[in-house]
Amino acid sequence: MSGGVARTTAVPKPKGKSRAKATGSACLEATRQRTRTTRELKQVEGLLKRATGAGNAVLLDAKSSDEASLVLLKSRMELLEQACSTSRDVALCGQLFEACLRDPYLKDLQATLLASKDGVQTLGYVAHVRETLLDLQPNAEKVNILMDHQRNAFQVLTKIANCVLTEVDAWRSTVHALIKARKDEAEALRKAEEKERKAEEKREERNAAKEKAKAEKQKQKEMAAELAKAADAEAEKEDGEHQDGTDGRKARRVRIKIDDLDDTDPSVLRTFKGSSAIDPPTITENLNEFLNHVCSSPFLPAVVRFRKASIKKVLQVSCLLVDQNLKFVFVW
């Protein structure tokens, strides 16, 4: 002591206690951060798993690898495989970062999510950070920096999974559209064939109806010819019986009446009809009776009506009568 003033020496605070407090604060912050992001991590893991299953299913079902959409899907499946790696090697994170920059969609995120390599992590490195690196940080600030990078990594992994699912949906939509187009084409072809088949059936029905009508007409024609032939035969038979006198009947002698003649009869007969000086002609339907009348009364008009089958016989008989210088008229 000097001058009545007592001097005291300050006792320094122990540094070990401050470090323990800082370390305890970092561990506490790491625990809090893991708790807050556990749900988000599980969602990312589930999305990556779903994208992997969907992509593998498409690649397994695809029958051609030349399509542009399928080629892009394959490249993104490789990117997804890198993202799902369980390795804790930090070098794989750099490779994943470079692969993202080569993707035609993800490269546009270079100014945001892909601004730093630290913000791109595989699932294996994410687990390494959460299980090891967070607890080794000297303070809470370092813990927050690591977790900021990891949250960015979650968004990058989500983008990768969504890119794969988008390509899967696009490929399936294309396939479904192609299947529908082929189905519509097959249906249109079936309808065209069905329409043609029905048209062919109608044509066949019309042709069959024509053939049937033609056959029916021919049949009727043949039947008519047969009936005419039978009628001619019957007429010849009747004429023969009349000529032979075997039917036991006497030929009728009919006196002509005014109504018996018309404009279709010869004009000489129609003149007789209107003349009062000449006896009206006698009409007969039997050739023998007609000839008898002509022979017995050669100067009186006479008419005989017979069928076409008797023309030949009439002409043959008429030749004999002409030789005898007899005058008569045949009407049929």
In a domain, 126, yes or no: yes
Which residues, including other chains, have CB under 8 Å from residue 44's CB and lie 6 or more apart?
Answer: 154, 157, 158, 161
In a domain, 109, yes or no: yes
State pLDDT tens for residues 37-89. 999 999 999 999 999 999 999 988 876 555 666 888 999 999 999 999 999 99
Tokens 């044509």 correspond to what residue?
A: 203
| Residue 215 φ then ψ, to 5° | -65, -40
- What pLDDT, on the 0 to 100 scale, is given for residue 180? 80
Domain count, the chain: 2
State pLDDT tens for residues 274-313. 566 666 777 777 777 888 888 887 777 777 776 655 665 6
Task: Mark whether 37 and 109 lie in a shared domain.
Answer: yes
Residue 304 belongs to domain spanning: 253-323
The alpha carbon of 40 is separated from its chain's Cα centroid by a whole number of angstroms, namely 51
Where does a domain end: 190, 208, 242?
190
- What pLDDT, on the 0 to 100 scale, is given for residue 262? 64
Q: How many CB atoms lie within 10 A of CB 290?
A: 24
pLDDT of 198 above 70: yes
- What pLDDT, on the 0 to 100 scale, is given for residue 122? 98
d(Cα 107, Cα 98) in Å, to the nearest integer?
9
Where does a domain end: 190, 210, 239?
190
d(Cα 79, Cα 92) in Å, to the nearest integer?
11
In a domain, 218, yes or no: no
Where does a domain end: 137, 168, 190?
190
| Residue 278 φ then ψ, to 5° | -120, 135
d(Cα 304, Cα 295) in Å, to the nearest integer?
14
